[in-house]
Structure 1
Amino acid sequence: MRTLPVGDRALLVELESGADAEALHAELLRRRAAGSLPPVREIVPAARTVLLDGLDDQAGLAALLPGWEVAPPRADTGAVVEIPVRYDGPDLAEVASAWGVSPEAAVRIHRAVEFRVAFCGFAPGFGYLTGLPERYGVPRRATPRTSVPAGSVALAGPYTGVYPRSSPGGWQLVGSTDAVLWDPDREPAALLAPGTRVRFVPRGGA
């Protein structure tokens, strides 16, 4: 763990891995809920970092963090969101081949996982979901698509994600959903927030 000051009131915490960043984020939320975290306005996780913004005592928290015992987030904590999916993506067969299974088996594998939103980025409402075993990681496409439809369920590296709007993208598309990932007129606007547990459930008999 390494801490870096950002301006006068923020702290960037660099971790060894994405799992470490998820664990620290969960610990920070737990301590804030328990009232044992020094005042902080925002906690923003990323792939291997966590940013704490709006601190009253930047140096004090930087000195405390290395001494914390941080355990992996408990599987049964956090809100649960179910996303109905039809596994009709154009890359499903390719992903199944990379996994060494049939497309039907690939669907069963993906659907059996309870995912967790590690962090958000790329576009408003886009969550990077972890939970697939490491052996099921797949590379991004060699040539990104110029337009990926909104609602596309996709895989890249260790992550699963859902495109909240039509945009270019290089992830492997395995399915689609009608769920609205981002709605500025909704509170909160994002369906998925860091720490949220996510399950993919059948849609339309898929």
Structure 2
Amino acid sequence: MSATRLSMIGSRAVLFEVDCPFDLTHQERIWALTHAASTWDGVLESVPGMTNLTLLLDHVPQDLDRIERDLCDLWNTGKRHEVDGKLLEIDLTYGGSGGPHLAEVAQMTDMTIDQVIKLHSASDYTVYAVGSHAGYCYLGGLDPRLETPRRKVPLPRLPGGSLSVAGLQTGVSASAGPSGWNTIGSAEVSFFDPNKPQPALLQPGDRIRFLPKEVIA
């Protein structure tokens, strides 16, 4: 049975965290939990994260033990919510000024640059959650052979569209900002448009396929 923890975020939100593996099966359980909790009285929004769930409430909760118990009971049912999401294909330029750490990743993984690119672009990646910054997608599906540590010294600023890897995750930044991941490429894609009815381009359960457009040594 997975260990869980409930904590407050401000006065009208709670964070439910689950100590479980980072994989699609367990994330589908998070999605099921998200869907069920969204129907509860007093819940304004139910937001899935990476192996966690945030509930935004319309009131200050008076019985945290009950909320935690209800969430634990739901989690322990093992129910999964499978999503047949849309597929987005993204053209990528690997290496060059937009992918300054490609050679380092190849060295850390004991591969050639071509092998890194082939392996990275071989899988379809599932959007587990959207967050960190507006429109950013936390993706599952990175080949374990591409696992790398975070950088000891983060970069102060990377442009939007930067493709990076760290641990068992990969993703394309939705906007400019700092990063402690290893950046191996770049893409021209807009993940967030506040003027659209659905501002975020992708939702949990959608998929991304990276297409190598160009490789710059």
Q: TM-score, normalised by structure 1?
A: 0.79
Gaps of 5+ in 2: 60-65
**CA offset at residue 51 of structure 1?**
2.0
Query: What residue number does 1:98 align with?
Result: 108
What is the alpha-carbon distance in structure 1 between the residues aligned to residue 118 and residue 16 of structure 2? 37
**CA offset at residue 172 of structure 1?**
0.7
8 Å CA contact retained: 2:161, 2:173 = yes
Residues 2-56 of structure 1: CA distance to partner in whole angstroms, max 9, x if unpaired?
A: 3637589765432122336512223246768xx9x65654221223311234489
Kindly indicate whether residue 87 of structure 2 is the aligned counterpart of residue 77 of structure 1.
no
**CA offset at residue 204 of structure 1?**
5.3
Greater strand share, 1 or 2?
2
Moved more, 9-18 or 181-190: 9-18
- Percent identity for Structure 1 against Structure 2: 31
Kindly indicate whether residue 161 of structure 2 is the aligned counterpart of residue 151 of structure 1.
yes
Structure 1 residues 1-206: aligned runs within 5 Å: 1-2=3-4, 4=6, 6=8, 12-17=15-20, 18-19=22-23, 22-28=27-33, 38=40, 40-54=43-57, 58=67, 61-62=70-71, 64-71=73-80, 77-88=84-95, 89-203=99-213
Residues 107-142 of structure 1: CA distance to partner in whole angstroms, max 9, x if unpaired?
A: 110111111122233321221211113332111122
CA RMSD of aligned residues (A): 3.2
Q: Which amino acid aligns with 1:23?
A: E
How many residue pairs are counted as aligned between the two chains?
201
What is the alpha-carbon distance in structure 1 between the residues aligned to residue 195 and residue 159 of structure 2? 21
Q: Which amino acid aligns with 1:25?
A: I
8 Å CA contact retained: 1:15, 1:21 = no
In structure 2, the CA distance between the partners of 1:66 and 1:24, relative to structure 1 (3 Å rule), is: closer
Q: TM-score, normalised by structure 2?
A: 0.76
In structure 2, the CA distance between the partners of 1:63 and 1:104, relative to structure 1 (3 Å rule), is: closer
Residues 178-200 of structure 1: CA distance to partner in whole angstroms, max 9, x if unpaired?
A: 11122211232122322221111
Gaps of 5+ in 1: none
In structure 2, the CA distance between the partners of 1:169 and 1:12, relative to structure 1 (3 Å rule), is: closer
In structure 2, the CA distance between the partners of 1:168 and 1:53, relative to structure 1 (3 Å rule), is: closer
SS at match of 2:163: strand
